[in-house]
Amino acid sequence: MAKIDRRILKTQEALKKAVIELMNEKNFDDITIQDLSDRANVSRGTIYLHYMDKYDLLDKLIETHINELREICKAAADMDFVTGSLLWTEYLDNNYSFFSLMLASKGAPFFRSRFLEFLIEEFKDEVDVAKGKNLGLNEQLMGQFVASAYVGVVEWWFINEKPVPHEVLAEQLGSLLERNL
Amino acid sequence: MAKIDRRILKTQEALKKAVIELMNEKNFDDITIQDLSDRANVSRGTIYLHYMDKYDLLDKLIETHINELREICKAAADMDFVTGSLLWTEYLDNNYSFFSLMLASKGAPFFRSRFLEFLIEEFKDEVDVAKGKNLGLNEQLMGQFVASAYVGVVEWWFINEKPVPHEVLAEQLGSLLERNL
DNA sequence: CTCAATTTGTTAATTAGTAAACACAAGTAC
DNA sequence: GTACTTGTGTTTACTAATTAACAAATTGAG
C-alpha cells in the first residue's frame, strides 16, 4: 500500500473527530461545513479537497470503520470465535465515541442497517447448514439470525454504556456464535 | 498582530506538546529530534523550519509561557491582588503539565531562575517603598523577597500536586501580596 | 414577500510541510 | 583499529493546505 502523505491523514483524522464531536452536540443536518472547519481547525476549502459535502464525509467515516472491521475479520479467520471476538470488541472499545454515537442514539438508523449488512456478508462463509446441528436450516435465514443477534448485543452494550468490560462481551459473544454456527 | 498561518500554529503546538510528553518520560538530553518528529507527527525537516535544535525549542516554549504571563499581568494591572492572582493561577492550572514539569521535578533549575527573574521584573513597579509600611526598606530587596516567596508557593503547589484548588491558591497568594506590597 | 446575512462550492496564487537524499559526527561492537 | 549503527542538520523537488475572493443558493427576520 503506497503510503499516504501525513498531512492528508492528519486532516482527515481531524475532520472525523470533529464530525463525531459535533454530532454529539447537535443534529447532523444542523452541522455546517463552517462548523467542521472551525472544530477541526482546517481551512474550509480543504474539506472539499477530500469530500464532496458533509454527507460524503459521514459516509467515508462509516466505510472506514466497516473496512477496519473487515480487516479484523480476515485476521480472525483462523481463530476460534472467542479469541476472534476479542479483536472485534477491542476495536469497538477503542472507537467507543464513534460506535456509541452510531448505535446508541442519534445517528442510528442508517448505520445500523449498514452494519447489519456487513455482518451478514461476513457470516455468510461461517454458516454451515451441512453441519449436523444445522441440518434443515435455511442458510440465509441463519445468516440473518446470527447477524441480527450480533448487532443487537453490540447495540445493547453501547446503549448501556459498557455494562461489562469488552473482554467479557467478547467471551460471551464468542461462545454464542460457537453455539449457533 | 498579523495572523499566523494555521499550519505553523498546529506544528508548533504539536511540538510543544511532544517535548512536554517526552520530558515526562526521559531526560531532556536523551530526547532526539527523531523522537520529537515521531511524537509530534511532523516531518523531521519541519522542526528545523522553526527551531535551531531541541534546546531552541525548549527555550521558545519557556518564553511563550513567560510572555503569556506578562500579558496576564497587563490585564491584571488595574485589579486588586486577589482578583489578579486568579487570572494567574488559572493560567498555571490550564498549563499544569508544563509548569508541573518545570517546577516540580526534572526541568527545574533553569526554568526556576527564569521564572524568578520575570517575577522580579513584574513586581518592580508594584513595590512602593514610599508607602508607610515599607518605609526604610530596600526596593530591590523587597522585590527579591516577594518574587522568591511567590515562586516558592507556586513550586509548593505543583510539587504537592495541587493540594488546594487554584482559586484558593489565588486568594491566599493575593492577600499575601496585598500584605507585602 | 424582500432584504440581509449565512452558507456553500469553486478557484488561483501562495506558503508550509513533506520525503528523500546527502555529508558528517558520535558512539558502539567486534 | 575498522565497520556499523544512530542521530544531526541541510537541501531539493514536490504536494497539500491555506487564504481570499467570487457567485450562487439558503435561510431567516421584519
CATH number, domain at A134? 1.10.357
Which positions 48-77 on chain A have a beta carbon less than 7 angstroms from any atom of strand C?
48, 52-54
Question: Is there a domain that residue A56 lies in?
Answer: no
Of A46-50, A153-157, B25-29, B127-131, the range with the lowest mean pLDDT is B127-131
Q: Do the Cβ atoms of A149 and A176 come closer than 8 Å? A: yes
Closest alpha carbon within chain A to B9: A41
Count: domains in chain A: 2
A42 in contact with nucleic chain D (CB within 7 A): yes
Higher local confidence (pLDDT), B96 or A3: B96
| pLDDT score, position B107 | 57
| pLDDT score, position B1 | 58
Q: In what helix (H) or strand (E) does residue A59 lie, and over which residues does it extend?
A: helix A54-76
Claim to verify: residue B68 and residue B93 sit in the same structural domain:
yes
Quick one: which of A16, A83, A3 has its CA closest to A47? A16
CA distance B52 to B149: 35
- Residue-level pLDDT, tens digit, chain B, 181 residues: 567 889 999 999 999 999 999 998 888 888 999 999 999 999 999 999 999 999 999 999 999 999 999 999 999 888 988 898 999 999 999 999 999 999 886 555 688 889 999 999 998 888 877 777 777 778 888 889 889 999 999 999 999 999 999 999 998 988 888 888 7
Question: Is there a domain that residue B33 lies in?
Answer: yes
A133 in contact with nucleic chain D (CB within 7 A): no
SS3 labels along B8-46? HHHHHHHHHHHHHHHHHHCCHHHCCHHHHHHHHCCCHHH
Claim to verify: residue B4 and residue B89 sit in the same structural domain:
no
C-alpha cell belonging to residue A157: 452494550
Tell me how many residue pairs between chain A and chain B have CB atoms under 8 A apart.
6
| pLDDT score, position A2 | 62
Question: Is there a domain that residue A69 lies in?
Answer: yes
Q: Taking CB atoms and an 8 Å limit, are A43 and B10 in contact across chains? A: no
Closest alpha carbon within chain B to A14: B10
Q: Do the Cβ atoms of B109 and B90 come closer than 8 Å? A: no
Which amino acid type is present at position A134? N
Provide mean pLDDT across the span A107-112. 73
Question: Is there a domain that residue B144 lies in?
Answer: yes
Binned at pLDDT 50, 70 and 90, residue A162 comes out as very high
| pLDDT score, position B68 | 92
Domain that holds residue B32: 1-51
- Binding-site residues on chain B for chain A (CB distance < 8 A): 6, 10, 41, 43
Question: Is there a domain that residue B57 lies in?
Answer: no
Claim to verify: residue A72 and residue A10 sit in the same structural domain:
no
A5 in contact with nucleic chain D (CB within 7 A): yes
| pLDDT score, position A1 | 57
CA distance A26 to B65: 35
Claim to verify: residue A101 and residue A153 sit in the same structural domain:
yes
Claim to verify: residue B44 and residue B111 sit in the same structural domain:
no
Closest alpha carbon within chain B to A5: B43
DSSP state for residue A102 in the 8-state scheme: I
Give the distance, in angstroms, between residue A56 CA and nucleotide C26 C1'. Answer: 52
DSSP-based helix, strand, coil % in chain B, nearest 5 = 75, 0, 25
Question: Is there a domain that residue B27 lies in?
Answer: yes
Question: Is there a domain that residue B151 lies in?
Answer: yes
Handedness of CA A150, A154, A159, A163 (dihedral sign): positive
Question: Is there a domain that residue A42 lies in?
Answer: yes
Residue A133: pLDDT over 80: no
| pLDDT score, position A38 | 94
| pLDDT score, position A106 | 58
Claim to verify: residue B86 and residue B160 sit in the same structural domain:
yes
DSSP SS3 for A53: coil
Nucleotide nearest to A31 in CA–C1' terms: C7
Claim to verify: residue A76 and residue A164 sit in the same structural domain:
yes
Instruction: Kindly report the average pLDDT of chain B as a whole number.
Output: 89
Phi, psi for B105 (deg, rounded to 5): -155, -120
Claim to verify: residue A44 and residue A69 sit in the same structural domain:
no
Mutant choice from A3, A4, A10, A44 vs B, greatest count of B C-beta within 10 A: A10
Which positions 9-48 on chain B have a beta carbon less than 7 angstroms from any atom of strand C?
10-11, 41-46
CATH number, domain containing residue A45: 1.10.10.60
Binned at pLDDT 50, 70 and 90, residue A107 comes out as low
Residue-wise pLDDT for A67-106, tens only, equals: 999 999 999 888 988 899 999 999 999 999 999 999 886 5
Residue A13: pLDDT over 70: yes
